[in-house]
Amino acid sequence: MSASENNPSRVQGFSLIELIVGIVLMGMVIVPMTAIMFSNREIYADPVDHARKNTLLLDIASMIISRSFDDRSDFSDGWVRCGETGDSSACPAGSETYCTAELLGAGGSRECTKSSDFGFETGELPAKLQDTADGEQYFAMLDDADDFVTSKICARTGDCGGTDFLPAKYFGSKGSESLYDGMSVRIRVTPLALPGAPSGASAGELSGKLVSITVRSVSGDISYSLIRGNY
């Protein structure tokens, strides 16, 4: 017969105090481990989200920089910039066919769009963007840098929640909206004075536009600015 069988008092489980101490110790180990697990999940998720926002931001910047400086720029051969003054005698030699008084505008001045009028022009967006055909770019008809002001587009779409952050789905083509789930975009355009303003332009004429782009997601905002010169 063993010693434990000779002494029944030695055959016993944990005491209440021992159980409480064990639970406390387990809690001290489990809680930090749980915090580490969740923080790592955010660390691993953030770079993916950041990369998606950067890709979208650069796509939008490329779209804007490829457009004309202004809706009143010369879209045929670029002989005359908006804000240029004078008559056809001021045109470069050999360009008289294209650089005309009509192109320079009534009174010999083709004024740039005023900053208060920045935004898309009539006919450049459908009455309902939802009517855009599958695979067609929502903003294919926007032809100059200030057309992308999101506050004006938000007024058309009505789905910006009272802000000027436009759902990012509109910056792709119809049918690819899921690529930008959870992201929104704000674009603001302000006049910018640059060296080499159009000859004869008054102080109020535009020589450049500063385009500020912000992409927002649940993890925060990233921003980018570009300058579109008058050429």
- Note the pLDDT tens digit of each residue in 81-140: 777 665 556 566 665 555 555 555 555 556 788 888 999 988 888 878 877 877 788 888
pLDDT digits (tens, 9 = 90+) for 43-89: 445 788 888 888 899 999 999 998 888 887 766 656 667 776 655 56
How far, in Å, CA of 206 to CA of 189, rounded? 12
Q: How many CB atoms lie within 10 A of CB 141?
A: 13
Q: What is the DSSP string of 166-194?
A: EEGGGGSBTT-GGGGTT-EEEEEEEEE--
How far, in Å, CA of 150 to CA of 171, rounded? 11
Looking at the chain, list the stretches that DSSP marks H as alpha helix, in order from N- to C-terminal side: 3-6, 16-65, 101-104, 150-157
Quick check: helix, strand or coil at residue 209?
strand
Residues 40, 45, 50, 51, Cα dihedral to 10°: 120
User: What integer is the mean pLDDT of 178-198?
Assistant: 83
User: Would you give the distance in Å from CA 210 to the centre of its chain?
Assistant: 14
Residue 164 pLDDT greater than 80, yes or no:
yes
The residues near 49 (Cβ < 8 Å, ≥ 6 apart) are 217, 218, 219
What is the predicted pLDDT for the residue at 119? 93
Name which residue leads in pLDDT, 149 or 88: 149
What is the predicted pLDDT for the residue at 211? 95
How far, in Å, CA of 84 to CA of 112, rounded? 9
